[in-house]
Amino acid sequence: ARLPVLDEVDVLVVGAGPAGVSAALAAARMGARTLLIEQFNCLGGIATAGGHGHIVLYSSWGTSERVVGGIIWEMAERVTKVGYGVHNNSSTDFEIEGMKLVLERMAGECNCRLLYHAFFLDTLVEDGQAIGAVVAVKDGRCAILAKRIVDCTGDGDVAARAGCGFDYGDEETGLCQPMTLMFMIGGVDWERVQAFRREVGDNNLESVWKKAQADGFMRPFQTRIMGWWWTPTRPDWVGVNFTHILKVSALKAGDLTQATLEGRRQAYETIAVYRKYVPGMENCYMLSTPNTVGIRESRRIHGEYRLTKGDLMAEKEFEDSVGYGSFFIDIHNTTGPGMDRKTHYPPKGFKYQIPYRILVPKGVENLLVAGRCASTDHEALGSLRVMPQCGIMGQAAGAASVLSLKAGVPPRGVDVKALQGVLREQACIVDAADIRKANA
């Protein structure tokens, strides 16, 4: 039986995280008929459905020199402007519900069409070209036909189903970074917490977790806070990045389920420790756990170029640069708590260029990938996987999709200089001259 065709579009973007939102908005603003499909009920991915109300790093490492522009930077400005967040040149903290609203407004302004509750199943490929996707929706199994597809699933599902090769996990152990279920707590006296952190001289409260574990009050799943954030708009709320779920695969539903169950258990254990050991948190309580566990790593699709740790360390420049990364090589321990020995903190001012070719999968035409499924090695992904860089990659892929359509060439044949020109018009930062201009 032929599948019913739900829609026919110029550009189909699969997955509405920072990469997907950036890709779809870029394409829609350039006049393409664009559809953005998402498995949950909001835009923003890890920033919303994943409960991570903090986007970092827009600046070069350890400085306030902004090296990221474009749509992902516009998100920080817009969420601040309407009173749902705060930002500086390095990061933005925001209320998750506010971010959902801001992103939907941005999509509405440029006629970017949305489809929520749509689960991607398969890629339609004809003569080596991606021509559409099979999705499961409430209406049943349907096809969406598209002239260009951007895979922003995080896991590279579209590319993998189209037959593209990929790497998975650490080259030595085959293990991916652990998952984290974010959570949000209320009833926090942030001033007292800050005073306590200063007093113990320990921002990550490592002494607290040690003591709680020594007292038998907490399982040893984690030893340091990986991140927490709050916004002045909700001074007694704190978002927490702490839970650590090991040896689970983002490609298996059973593992995702187990990771969610374990993450929620850990979140409540964490709150119990906060209440008992941290001044200012005696009365804290659970506000929310998110729709999805946070996934740091899964498939890395084989692209025209593979970005490596060596490229990052050399701060290599590329003719086909579409933007900059600057985050440290952030690799969580794959077999226990804390950070991995492969974690690397770079010198102040660290930044590197992101080449367009890592978004172009080998072997299939009319398909681009963007986000943490781009073509990198395990260690480079430790830096490139964060939201500003996902946004940069998404915007480049969305713009390249439309440019390639207009020029009648496959995305791998796009004129890179023209792409860079379009990205600059869209307020992206592509090279050193753009950085100087943005920071003038």
Backbone angles phi, psi at 344, to 5 degrees: -140, 125
pLDDT of the residue at 271: 97
Average pLDDT, the chain: 97
At 122, list the tokens. 């398969």
Q: How confident is the model at residue 49 (pLDDT cuts 50, 70, 90)?
A: very high
pLDDT of the residue at 124: 98
pLDDT of the residue at 203: 83
pLDDT of the residue at 331: 93
CA dist list (Å): 439 to 76, 89, 195, 379: 17, 9, 33, 29
pLDDT of the residue at 159: 99
pLDDT in tens, 283-299: 999 999 999 999 999 99
Q: Which residue has the higher pLDDT, 337 or 383?
A: 383
Q: What is the mean pLDDT of residues 101-124?
A: 99
End-to-end CA distance of the chain: 60
**How many CB atoms within 10 Å of residue 105?**
11
* 402 contact partners, CB below 8 Å, separation of at least 6: 10, 11, 26, 27, 30, 31, 32, 148
Q: What is the mean pLDDT of residues 260-282?
A: 97
pTM of the prediction?
A: 0.97
Contact call for residues 399 and 13 (beta carbons, < 8 A): no
pLDDT of the residue at 312: 98
* 341 contact partners, CB below 8 Å, separation of at least 6: none
pLDDT in tens, 341-397: 899 999 999 999 999 999 999 999 999 999 999 999 999 999 999 999 999 999 999
The pLDDT of residue 131 is above 90: yes
pLDDT of the residue at 1: 62
